[in-house]
Chain A
Amino acid sequence: METPSKDSWGSRLGVIMAVAGSAVGLGNFIRFPGQAAQFGGGAFMIAYAISFLIIGLPIGWAEWAMGRYAGQRGYNSAAGVFHCLVPWRGSKYIGVLGAIIPLVIFMYYVVIEAWTLGYTVRFARAFFDPTLRFATVAESQAYFAGFVGKDGDGTALRLDLDALLPWLVVVCGLNLVLIYRGISKGIQKVCEIGMPVLVVLSLLVLARVLTLGTPDPAKPDQNVSIGLGYMWNPGKTLVVAADGTTLAEVVDADPAAQQAKAELLAAATAGARVERKTVLSQLADPDLWLAAAGQIFFSLSVGFGVILVYASYLGPRDDLVLSGLTASATNEFCEVALGGLITLPAAVAFLGLAGVAGQGTFGLGFNVLPLVFSEMPAGSLFGAMFFFVLFIAAITSSLSMLQPGIALLEEALGIGRKGSVGLLGTLTALGTGFVAWFSRDLKALDTLDFWVGTFLIFVLAMIQIILFAWFFGIDQGWEELHRGAALRLPRFFRPILRYVCPAFLMAIFGLWVMENVIGWGRAKPSSYVTDLFEKGNPVAWLSIGLVAVVAFGLATTIASSKKYRDEPPA
Chain B
Amino acid sequence: MQPAGLFVMIASVGTVTVLFVWCVWQVLTQPAAEAEHLHGTEFETPDVERR
B49 to chain A, nearest CB (A): 5
Whether A7 and B5, one on each chain, are in contact in the complex, defined by CB atoms closer than 8 angstroms, is no
Whether A41 and B5, one on each chain, are in contact in the complex, defined by CB atoms closer than 8 angstroms, is yes
The binding surface of chain A is classed by DSSP as helix
**A393-436 contacts to B (CB < 8 Å):** 410, 416-418
Contact flag A12-B35 (CB < 8 Å), given A182-B48, A234-B8: yes
Interface flags, B1-29, vs A, CB<8A=1, else 0: 11011101101110011011011101110
Whether A16 and B27, one on each chain, are in contact in the complex, defined by CB atoms closer than 8 angstroms, is yes
21 CB contacts below 8 A, A to B, read A10-B40, A12-B35, A41-B8, A42-B8, A45-B8, A181-B48, A184-B40, A225-B1, A231-B9, A232-B1, A234-B5, A318-B37, A322-B30, A323-B27, A329-B19, A337-B16, A340-B9, A340-B13, A410-B47, A486-B31, A487-B26
Interface flags, A305-346, vs B, CB<8A=1, else 0: 000000001111111001101100110110111001100000
Residue of A9, A10, A231, A326 touching B24 (CB-CB under 8 A): A326
When distances are taken between beta carbons in the complex, the residues of chain A under 8 Å from B37 are 315-318, 484
A68 to chain B, nearest CB (A): 10
Whether A322 and B23, one on each chain, are in contact in the complex, defined by CB atoms closer than 8 angstroms, is yes
Q: Check if A253 is an interface residue, CB within 8 A of chain B.
A: yes
Whether A41 and B12, one on each chain, are in contact in the complex, defined by CB atoms closer than 8 angstroms, is yes
Whether B1 and A228, one on each chain, are in contact in the complex, defined by CB atoms closer than 8 angstroms, is yes
Q: Check if A557 is an interface residue, CB within 8 A of chain B.
A: no
**CB closest residue in chain B, given A421:** B49
A215 to chain B, nearest CB (A): 17
Q: Check if A11 is an interface residue, CB within 8 A of chain B.
A: yes
Give the CA-CA distance A183 to B41 in the complex, in Å: 12
Q: Check if A226 is an interface residue, CB within 8 A of chain B.
A: yes
Give the CA-CA distance A5 to B12 in the complex, in Å: 40
Q: Chain A CB within 10 Å — which of B4, B5, B17, B27 has the most?
A: B5
Residue of A180, A232, A313, A336 touching B40 (CB-CB under 8 A): A313
Q: Check if A241 is an interface residue, CB within 8 A of chain B.
A: no
Give the CA-CA distance A12 to B41 in the complex, in Å: 10
Give the CA-CA distance A325 to B26 in the complex, in Å: 11
Contact flag A12-B9 (CB < 8 Å), given A417-B49, A486-B34: no
Whether A229 and B2, one on each chain, are in contact in the complex, defined by CB atoms closer than 8 angstroms, is yes
Whether A332 and B19, one on each chain, are in contact in the complex, defined by CB atoms closer than 8 angstroms, is yes
When distances are taken between beta carbons in the complex, the residues of chain A under 8 Å from B2 are 229, 233, 253-255, 258
Whether B5 and A45, one on each chain, are in contact in the complex, defined by CB atoms closer than 8 angstroms, is no
Q: Check if A13 is an interface residue, CB within 8 A of chain B.
A: yes
**CB closest residue in chain B, given A41:** B8
Whether A7 and B1, one on each chain, are in contact in the complex, defined by CB atoms closer than 8 angstroms, is no
The 4 residue pairs across chains A and B that have the minimum distance between CB atoms: A315-B39, A8-B40, A317-B37, A229-B1
Whether B34 and A317, one on each chain, are in contact in the complex, defined by CB atoms closer than 8 angstroms, is yes
A498 to chain B, nearest CB (A): 25
Q: Check if A522 is an interface residue, CB within 8 A of chain B.
A: no
Whether A12 and B30, one on each chain, are in contact in the complex, defined by CB atoms closer than 8 angstroms, is yes
Whether A8 and B27, one on each chain, are in contact in the complex, defined by CB atoms closer than 8 angstroms, is no
Q: Check if A276 is an interface residue, CB within 8 A of chain B.
A: no
Whether A12 and B1, one on each chain, are in contact in the complex, defined by CB atoms closer than 8 angstroms, is no
Contact flag A234-B38 (CB < 8 Å), given A7-B47, A329-B20: no
**CB closest residue in chain A, given B34:** A486
Contact flag A315-B38 (CB < 8 Å), given A226-B1, A333-B16: yes
A320 to chain B, nearest CB (A): 12
Give the CA-CA distance A183 to B46 in the complex, in Å: 10
Give the CA-CA distance A229 to B8 in the complex, in Å: 10
When distances are taken between beta carbons in the complex, the residues of chain B under 8 Å from A333 are 16-17, 19-20
B34 to chain A, nearest CB (A): 6
Give the CA-CA distance A489 to B47 in the complex, in Å: 34
When distances are taken between beta carbons in the complex, the residues of chain A under 8 Å from B8 are 41-42, 45, 232-234
**CB closest residue in chain A, given B6:** A232
Whether A12 and B20, one on each chain, are in contact in the complex, defined by CB atoms closer than 8 angstroms, is no
Given A184-B40, A317-B37, list of 12 further CB < 8 A pairs? A6-B46, A41-B12, A42-B4, A45-B8, A182-B45, A234-B4, A253-B2, A314-B39, A315-B37, A322-B27, A333-B20, A486-B31
Residue of B11, B38, B47 touching A11 (CB-CB under 8 A): B38
Q: Check if A185 is an interface residue, CB within 8 A of chain B.
A: yes
When distances are taken between beta carbons in the complex, the residues of chain B under 8 Å from A41 are 5, 8-9, 12
When distances are taken between beta carbons in the complex, the residues of chain A under 8 Å from B6 are 232
Whether B47 and A182, one on each chain, are in contact in the complex, defined by CB atoms closer than 8 angstroms, is yes
Residue of A9, A253, A254, A340 touching B12 (CB-CB under 8 A): A340
**CB closest residue in chain B, given A48:** B12
A35 to chain B, nearest CB (A): 13
Give the CA-CA distance A329 to B41 in the complex, in Å: 25
Whether A341 and B48, one on each chain, are in contact in the complex, defined by CB atoms closer than 8 angstroms, is no
When distances are taken between beta carbons in the complex, the residues of chain A under 8 Å from B45 are 6-8, 10, 182-185
B32 to chain A, nearest CB (A): 12
